[in-house]
Amino acid sequence: MTEIQIRLIDVADLYYSGYYYEGFDRLSRADSRLGEVALRTNVSLNIPATIKNALQDKNARHLLFAISIYSIRTDSVEYFICIDAHDSNKTAGISDHTEGYHRSLLKVVDRYYKVNFNEDFLKHSDLPLALQQKVRPIAQFAPIITSAILPFCKRIIFPLNPIRIKPGLSHSKPYSGFWQDVLQRIRRLRKLQSLDQLLKLRYEPKTIDIFFVTSYRPNPRHNAAMEFRHSLMELINKKPHLHCTIGFTSHADIPPQYRKMKQPRLSQADYLKAMSRAKIVIYTQGMDGCISSKFLLAMSAGCVMLGDPINNNTDMIAKYTHLKDQFGYSNPSTVVDSAIAILSENSSLERLSRLNLELFDNYLSPTKAAQWILKDLGLAA
């Protein structure tokens, strides 16, 4: 029997890395063997020489928080891969920290899996063809805590900075020392929900007609998106016969024109429970046209989604054609009218809900994402 060692190099924020590690870890358990292949998973803070220089690239440290890096080894070969969960598909933008690829990593890894994969953007980028050919699409993630918590506690005890690996906390928040890094990891371990908790939500009764609660972002680059979302909320609010939960949540002050739509902030657990009770969840793209993490969360709960087009990961749209009935609405009035029409037809609502659950179970789940990686590397049938 072939044994495959799967080692996560723990430099990313657990918010982004937990989902895919959970997939590998579940495959490694009893009854999860892939034919004659047995998997072993672990988490490490040791940086292999192959990727060390790339991780020390000062111009790209701010990208590491959303990039999971793995060593996948058999007796005869070792692959280095990364899973990039950034919103953007840009291959430039270093000056304003909005680029979507870690070029130094792309040069040294064997595969570069991109959550928001856009083939057209990639083909017309300035990346050499040899680097483009390393890039693959990968299913969207959700922020979850893994079942294997202890391996992720290493980063609470041992700092990353002695070898000058200083991953930023976000695009605009650079690495600010060991203790800040520790506090962030502790917050994730305490607040994130597990996959099992997420999956239980599909059995919640659907008592809300339309759910659209989203964060207010004060950064100027989000202004257009905030205006669009507010216009959707206003239209939904004019339908008093529907039971709707809508509004903005924010740590910061909300501008006067949006305050009527303010919602109290919810914990992740409370937010997910409320969303899972919705018959229809309104969908809006994330920044740079990315697929929002709410997409996967709604699919896992069997909610119907309606809203913006999905321009990335088009292979998913091609395979699961029922998504075309839910996405592609750029006009707020069309979104709301379509929601009312679907709510009036129980058969359509039930069909789309069932198909969304199947999409999650057969394509989006952590184990399916992990299996896809192993097949792409030629390590599983």
Asked if residue 221 has pLDDT above 90, the reply is: no
Please give the average per-residue pLDDT across 254-283, as a whole number. Answer: 91
Q: What is the pLDDT of residues 106-115, one digit of tens each?
A: 999 999 999 9
230 close to 256: Cβ distance less than 8 angstroms:
no
pTM of the predicted model, to two decimals? 0.91
pLDDT of residue 372: 95
pLDDT of residue 87: 81
Beta strands (DSSP E) in the chain are 2-9, 37-44, 67-73, 78-84, 111-114, 135-137, 144-145, 193-194, 208-215, 244-249, 278-283, 304-307
Helix H or strand E encompassing 186: helix 178-191
* Domains of the chain in sequence order: 2-138+144-191 (no CATH), 198-364 (3.40.50.2000)
Residue 95, helix vs strand vs coil: helix
**What CA–CA distance (Å, rounded) separates 336 from 354?**
22
pLDDT of residue 126: 85
Task: Give residues with Cβ within 8 angstroms of 165, minimum separation 6.
Answer: 11, 47, 55, 56, 64
Q: How confident is the model at residue 171 (pLDDT cuts 50, 70, 90)?
A: low
Asked if residue 150 has pLDDT above 70, the reply is: yes
Asked if residue 357 has pLDDT above 70, the reply is: yes
Widest pairwise Cα distance in the chain: 65
pLDDT of residue 35: 60
Please give the average per-residue pLDDT across 277-287, as a whole number. Answer: 89
Share of the chain above pLDDT 90, in %: 59
pLDDT of residue 163: 55
Please identify which residue in the block is written with the tokens 């999860």: 32
- CA atoms within 13 A of residue 196's CA, in its CB half-sphere: 4
Share of the chain above pLDDT 70, in %: 93
When the pLDDT of each residue in the chain is averaged and rounded to a whole number, the result is 88
Residue 350: CB atoms within 10 Å: 13
Q: What is the pLDDT of residues 25-75, one digit of tens each?
A: 999 985 545 566 789 999 999 899 999 999 888 888 888 999 999 999 999
pLDDT of residue 30: 59
Q: How confident is the model at residue 160 (pLDDT cuts 50, 70, 90)?
A: low
Please give the average per-residue pLDDT across 97-118, as a whole number. Answer: 88
Asked if residue 80 has pLDDT above 90, the reply is: yes
Please give the average per-residue pLDDT across 143-164, as a whole number. Answer: 83
Please give the average per-residue pLDDT across 103-130, as a whole number. Answer: 91
